[in-house]
Amino acid sequence: MRLANLLAVGALISQVASAQALAMGTEVRFQISAPLSTLISAPMEGVISTLSIQEGDTLDDGVIAVEFDCRLKDAQIAKAKAQLDAANARHRSNLRLKELGSVSDIQVATSDAEKQMAQADLRYLKVELSNCAVAAPFTGVVGEVVATAHSFAKLGDPLFRFYDLTNLRATFIVPTLSLSGYTLGKEIQLYVEDLNRTVAAEVTAHAVEADPLTQTTKVFARLLGDAEGVFPGMSGSILESQ
């Protein structure tokens, strides 16, 4: 039997053993996560002119966190506005000349199309300009900041992580045979090892599928009461249920 197969069998045996240990009453481990979190990425390509955040900052929804140097786009918009003004003037002139029989219907239609194209170009540039400022998508806390001021970012490059810490939850795995002990709405006590204290939580959801090999499934619980100082990534064990 190849080494890879041996390792796979070993991992399976370990999973089954873990499930059996859980069923025999061994501690149930959990990990804290933030259901609402995101990695903010660059919406455009360009030089970051202003980076007004650092890890741990709390931002309200809509507060500007990162700004790009958009002087070129400002100039492009000014040019597009001038082109639109010229297209409007040509079309108005053609409409008057059409009344006098000096231009054809094709010329009027062409100038109208040119006007609409100029309008579309201006709208496109305004959308691009709106990407020059990156705002907080919701009220939350800044996590790891990847970007640096005055550096060049490509479209899609990560800028910073952002978390909503107001609705933290614990995720843990239990044997499917024990799932009845974690009914929705049930209160449980979590011992957070990182803080050396307990936090109350309420079971809010069960996973929609079970692992057929280990006969386990995930359970989710919302933190209750005083969760001050609890952050995503912290872990511990379930002490008791009430």
- pLDDT in single tens digits along all 242 residues of the chain: 454 554 454 445 445 444 454 445 568 999 999 999 999 999 999 999 999 999 999 999 999 999 999 999 999 999 999 999 999 999 999 999 988 888 899 998 999 999 999 999 999 999 999 999 999 999 999 999 999 999 999 999 999 999 999 889 999 999 999 899 999 999 999 999 999 999 999 999 999 999 999 999 999 999 997 778 899 999 999 986 54
Domain match, 117 and 144 both:
no
In a domain, 9, yes or no: no
Which residue range forms the structural domain that includes residue 192?
A: 24-37+165-241
Q: Are residues 154 and 63 in the same domain?
A: yes
Per DSSP, helices labelled H in the chain are: 3-23, 71-99, 105-130
Q: Where residue 147 sits, what CATH number does that domain have?
A: 2.40.50.100
Residues 42 and 52 in one domain: yes
Q: Is 119 exposed, middle or buried (0-12, 13-18, 19+ CB in 10 A)?
A: middle
Within this chain, do residues 61 and 51 fall inside the same structural domain, yes or no? yes
56 and 83 co-located in one domain:
no
In-domain check, residue 208: yes
**Are 175 and 204 in the same domain?**
yes
Q: Is residue 11 part of a domain?
A: no
Let me know whether 175 and 215 are in one domain: yes
Same domain, yes or no: 101 and 62: no
Residue 114 token pair: 């040119």
Q: What is the pTM of this model?
A: 0.73
